[in-house]
Structure 1
Amino acid sequence: MHFAYPPRKSSNPPPFVPRSSRIPALRRNRLKLAALACLSIIFLFWLFSGSKTKSSPKRVITGTPPVVIVTAFEEKAVGSEFIRNAKSNRREYAKLNGYKVHLVSANDYDLNGSPLSWAKVPAMRHAMAKYPNAKYFWYLDQNSLIMNPSLKIEDYIMSARKLESNMIKDLPVVPPDSIIKTFSHLKGDDVSFVLTQDKEGLSSGSFIIRNGDWAEFFLDTWFDPLYRSYNFQKAETHALEHIVQWHPTILSKLAIVPQRLINSYSKSGVGAQYEDKDIVVRFPGCATSSSPGEVQCEEEAKRFLPKWQQAFKNA
């Protein structure tokens, strides 16, 4: 039996051509993109994990002093005796309770033509820079006197237990029928801004702010040149009512408390009238200049001078 021989290999084989080792362009591009994506993820992970370990420690407020009392005086508009009594009143109260005072002239601040009542906002910001470790700042306008030296702000007003029992929840921010209301679920520890209402709306003559980043944000927002340019009828007070109603970030830290807690009035016409043992008495609507027929702040305050002086003497 004969078998066919396999064909002989050619003595002149075609030249050897190795297989191309190049990856097709599309595949190569995809691999590059994947590599870049992996490198980006690794870099971002390193960046954020490193920033956490190297970031500045969280600011700690030591509460020294516990409270700073702030007043911006329109000294040219009020008699010097009245100013001396008001300053002495605040200094004595601060001394008895271990507080500090920040008593300044409203003219110290550039208000760009706005009413001097706006000075309370930069005065508070100034006090926060001067006393960065203070826990609370109490703004009290010049037409006021502290009457009860035994009441401490950090206990009487700002403790979580007191705030939760005193704050008025689900209350129209601007009476009588604002659709924006104070939060009904707010806890005492969440509050950073405490003030009162009178019969006309929010009262910005006496309020308390808890120190911190939120307080700085709030004061900077309130003092925005845009709001000062609006020429609100009640200047900074109406600006405050505006931002409280339109900025939930501010409303979420606000507690409105009964007026007599920090803002009793010498007369009952527009708000709660002062009673013995209230912490403060204010003289709303009094004249700061010698306008005929108007009750002068200095005259209005005279009947309260013996009371606060005796109370402080007995403290």
Structure 2
Amino acid sequence: MHLAMPARKSSNPPPYATRSTRFPMLRRSRVQAIVLCACAVGAVIFILSQIVGGSERIPSGTPPVVVVTVLDPDGYSKDYINNIKENRMEYAKKHGYATFFPTVTDYDLNGSPNSWARVPAIRHALTKFPHSTYMWYLDQNSLIMNPELTVEGHIMNPKRLEGLMIRDQSIVPPDSVIKTFGHLKGNQVDFVLTQDKDGLAQGSFIIRRGEWSKFFLDTWFDPLYRSYSFQKADTHALEHIVQWHPTILSKLGLIPQRIMNAYSKEDAAGDGIYKDGDLVIRFAGCDKGGRDCAAEAEPFSKQWKTAFRVQ
């Protein structure tokens, strides 16, 4: 019995067909041309977007300003708190702004004074209104008195701000060696506030949204500063970081007190006592020394409602 043997392969197999390199070269050149065209189109679109509207697209209907007031209802009547909220809401409605009313109990202050709540409240507002340009913090014991003045026009317009800024001014009067910068332009300022006779007065201040504002608020709210026994808590912590951090001082615009933080009584800086037509009146210190915030605010409450035509 014979077994079939496998066929032997030829020792001279036919040569493989030669592959043409013409078509792959054409394909590569075509791909390169397409990639180059796509890059060129992308570059043109990017440049046009920068010229027309910048890199950020702000959704329609975004309020340009958010008025933030931390409420501490303890020791105040419901009518008083409602009056404060209504005051902000009427002003915001007139100008297309938004309002934000957290309470001191919304934030874990780890035993620090309640005044510290303003810092996380602004940080909270930046998260809640991620496209709004300005956050205006205004203390509870104050009223907006002039409905015609806007944050953008009355304060934050760069040219207006350059005319308002107090340059080469001691941060802590009368003789602090650290002074406000003398060369800042209005569009470089991200933090605007005033002074009273004792120093920085953060009962009314404005912050421009951006990466710097987050850095600043996180620095101010650092647990080290909250645990340190500053005599005036967050006020002295603010004065400390402004004087020792040039990155913060370089964004600070100090303006006259009556522009957005006029006081009803003493403790103002120079010409800082409220006069008719001013944007704000603050009853600074009315919660101490036997004073009555509601009684002090009552005549001005009638006045702002007349100005705003609120029935």
Identify whether the pair has TM-score above 0.5, normalized to the shorter chain.
yes
Counterpart position of 1:115: 113
Residues 1:284 and 2:284 are matched in the alignment = yes
Counterpart position of 2:66: 68
Instruction: Output one character per residue of 1:204-250: Cα deviation in whole Å (capped at 9) or x when no partner.
Output: 10000001000010000000000001121111011000000000000
Residues 1:266 and 2:248 are matched in the alignment = no
SS of structure 2 residue aligned to 1:239: helix
Superposition deviation, residue 270 in structure 1: 3.6
SS of structure 2 residue aligned to 1:209: strand
Map 1:227-246 to 2 at 5 A. 227-246=225-244
Instruction: Output one character per residue of 1:68-113: Cα deviation in whole Å (capped at 9) or x when no partner.
Output: 0001111113222111100000000000010000111111100000
Counterpart position of 1:167: 165
Residues 1:310 and 2:310 are matched in the alignment = no
> In the alignment, residue 280 of structure 2 is paired with which amino acid?
V
Q: 1:266 to 1:61 in 2, by over 3 A?
A: farther
Counterpart position of 1:147: 145
Residues 1:158 and 2:156 are matched in the alignment = yes
Q: 1:184 aligns with which of 182, 185, 189?
A: 182
Superposition deviation, residue 294 in structure 1: 1.1
> In the alignment, residue 141 of structure 1 is paired with which amino acid?
D
Q: 1:199 to 1:209 in 2, by over 3 A?
A: same
Q: 1:61 to 1:167 in 2, by over 3 A?
A: farther
- In the aligned structure 2, how far is the partner of 1:112 from the partner of 1:191? 32
> In the alignment, residue 250 of structure 2 is paired with which amino acid?
S
SS of structure 1 residue aligned to 2:70: strand
In structure 2, list runs of 5 or more residues that go unmatched.
Answer: 1-42, 44-49
Counterpart position of 2:14: none
Contact 1:139–1:207 (Cα < 8 Å) also in 2:
yes
Counterpart position of 2:88: 90
Superposition deviation, residue 169 in structure 1: 0.5
Contact 2:257–2:268 (Cα < 8 Å) also in 1:
no
- In the aligned structure 2, how far is the partner of 1:135 from the partner of 1:269? 31
Superposition deviation, residue 59 in structure 1: 6.3
SS of structure 2 residue aligned to 1:137: strand
Instruction: Output one character per residue of 1:117-155: Cα deviation in whole Å (capped at 9) or x when no partner.
Output: 000000000000000000000000000000001100011
- In the aligned structure 2, how far is the partner of 1:140 from the partner of 1:211? 17
Residues 1:299 and 2:295 are matched in the alignment = yes
- In the aligned structure 2, how far is the partner of 1:77 from the partner of 1:244? 33
Contact 2:107–2:117 (Cα < 8 Å) also in 1:
yes
Task: Please give the root-mean-square deviation of Cα atoms over the aligned residues, in Å.
Answer: 1.7
> In the alignment, residue 143 of structure 1 is paired with which amino acid?
N
Superposition deviation, residue 61 in structure 1: 6.6
- In the aligned structure 1, how far is the partner of 2:276 from the partner of 2:197? 21
Contact 2:164–2:255 (Cα < 8 Å) also in 1:
yes
> In the alignment, residue 306 of structure 1 is paired with which amino acid?
K
Superposition deviation, residue 201 in structure 1: 0.4
Instruction: Output one character per residue of 1:5-51: Cα deviation in whole Å (capped at 9) or x when no partner.
Output: xxxxxxxxxxxxxxxxxxxxxxxxxxxxxxxxxxxxxxxxxxxxxxx
Superposition deviation, residue 60 in structure 1: 2.4
Number of equivalent positions: 255
> In the alignment, residue 304 of structure 1 is paired with which amino acid?
F
Counterpart position of 1:18: none
Counterpart position of 1:9: none
Contact 1:69–1:94 (Cα < 8 Å) also in 2:
yes
Counterpart position of 2:79: 81
- In the aligned structure 2, how far is the partner of 1:224 from the partner of 1:186? 27
